[in-house]
Amino acid sequence: MRVAVLKETRSGETRVAATPETVKKYVGMGLDVAVESGAGLASGFIDSAYAEAGATIAADAAAALAGAGIVLAVRAPEAELPRGALLLGTLGADAAAAAAYAAAGVDACSMELLPRITRAQSMDVLSSQANLAGYRAVIEGAGAYDRGFPMMMTAAGTVPAANVFVMGAGVAGLQAIATARRLGGRVSATDVRPAAKEEIKSLGATFVGYEDEESKAAQTAGGYAKQLSAEFYAKQAEVVAAHIAKQDVVVCTALVQGRRAPTLVTAAMVESMKPGSVIVDIAADAGGNCALTQPGEMVVTPNGVKILGFTNWPGRLPAAASALYARNLLTFLSTFWDKDAKAPKLPEDDDIVKGVALTRGGAVVHPLMQPAS
């Protein structure tokens, strides 16, 4: 069976869905791997490295896809896929896109829908990418900040430590806390899920937040934050507003699954910050946590606050992000692998498969992808 690895076509997408390391493993599983020429270049993986790992280098997407039974991608591919192929990617599909995959006879799996259960941890693309994004957010925040993170006592005087506030303490936020602490920042963080408070404290950061009866039940069964009431968000904003005025770097990571990111930093809060402060908004892909974030841009407000609203944060460390993403896909395929047939076998009743499978055998099977009735 042939596996096609495509060059990503979405603007600004630097990652690739297979690395020479995973290609070698696929070849070992008895697969033929075709890599579109230049697919790994933006991540630092050159064609010859894939060839050495056992792949064939295809001149273009059509050549890579010819006869492919498995297609590996980061984002939804634009090329026409072979009928019957299994597509793995972060497809971000809606009901219409799922219907198109079904009509094209493609079995599409959207890896960002993977359930956050222990058994799926090593295939969890959201976690692997969010962890790197949280790290990178702090590095870029430190780069944009005109002062230092650690307290420095020098003969010329003392440089105070930076006050760093992390909003949202999920996978990205916890890594942001750890990174900011390693750089010497004085770190605080907030979240709405009750479990996050202990995690924040265990990393040596201070918890800042509003808690009430509503926030005690702020977590869904899947581990995500729930959408909370307007009253709760108003109370949270009061606590945050007083704190944010004293912060030098604010890292925003808060998300609510399937919705626009909550607005946690208002224009008035930005105005209260000191000139030279930095807001890094890695929720920008989902609209941003800061009201003044311009997705894809860095803006400087009239009072001198820099807001970094870049999108695709994992793509800002493409080699590491591709390496982890590629391993996530390899683990998924190895887990659902029929050794005798040398082909994937996705059991319909498996919780992981049920979580990611959008289409199967020409039909839309995912409950979230059914057309509105």
Least Å from the CB of residue 78 to ligand NAD: 27
> Which residue stretch of 26-34, 114-122, 319-327, 353-361 sits at the interface with ligand NAD (rule: CB under 6 A)?
114-122
Asked if 171 is part of the footprint of ligand NAD (rule: CB under 6 A), the reply reads yes
> Which residue stretch of 50-58, 64-72, 88-96, 164-172 sits at the interface with ligand NAD (rule: CB under 6 A)?
164-172
Return the closest-CA partner of residue 306 out of 315, 296, 316, 293. 293
Residue pair 57/66 in contact by the 8 Å Cβ criterion:
no
**Among 76, 192, 200, 249, interactor with ligand NAD by CB under 6 A:** 192
Asked if 130 is part of the footprint of ligand NAD (rule: CB under 6 A), the reply reads yes
Asked if 169 is part of the footprint of ligand NAD (rule: CB under 6 A), the reply reads yes
Asked if 288 is part of the footprint of ligand NAD (rule: CB under 6 A), the reply reads no
Asked if 92 is part of the footprint of ligand NAD (rule: CB under 6 A), the reply reads no
> Which residue stretch of 10-18, 28-36, 116-124, 309-317 sits at the interface with ligand NAD (rule: CB under 6 A)?
116-124
Cβ-based neighbours of 56, under 8 Å, separated by 6 or more:
32, 33, 34, 35
Instruction: For residues 292 and 276, give the distance between their C-alpha atoms in angstroms, rounded to a whole number.
Output: 16
Least Å from the CB of residue 171 to ligand NAD: 4
Asked if 121 is part of the footprint of ligand NAD (rule: CB under 6 A), the reply reads yes
Token digits for 93? 């599909």
State the residue for tokens 């604010």. 250
Which residues are part of the catalytic machinery?
Answer: 116, 121, 124, 127, 224
Nearest residue to ligand NAD, by Cβ distance, number only: 170
**Among 118, 154, 158, 373, interactor with ligand NAD by CB under 6 A:** 118
Name the DSSP class of 185. Answer: -
Asked if 124 is part of the footprint of ligand NAD (rule: CB under 6 A), the reply reads yes
Give the E-state strand segments of 73-119 in sequence order: 86-89, 107-110
Cβ-based neighbours of 240, under 8 Å, separated by 6 or more:
167, 190, 208, 264, 265, 269
Instruction: For residues 361 and 145, give the distance between their C-alpha atoms in angstroms, rounded to a whole number.
Output: 52
First to last CA, the chain: 39
Per-residue contact string for residues 233-272; x = within reach of ligand NAD by CB under 6 A? --------------------xxxxx----x-x--------
**In this complex, which beta carbon is closest to ligand NAD, that of residue 170 or of residue 318?**
170
**Among 14, 19, 190, 312, interactor with ligand NAD by CB under 6 A:** 190
Cα dihedral 349, 351, 355, 358, rounded to 10, equals -20
Return the closest-CA partner of residue 30 out of 350, 346, 347, 333. 333
Instruction: For residues 139 and 257, give the distance between their C-alpha atoms in angstroms, rounded to a whole number.
Output: 26
Binding residues for ligand NAD, total number by CB under 6 A: 30
**Rule CB under 6 A: which residues touch ligand NAD?**
116-118, 121, 124, 126-127, 130, 167-173, 190-193, 196, 223-225, 253-257, 262, 264
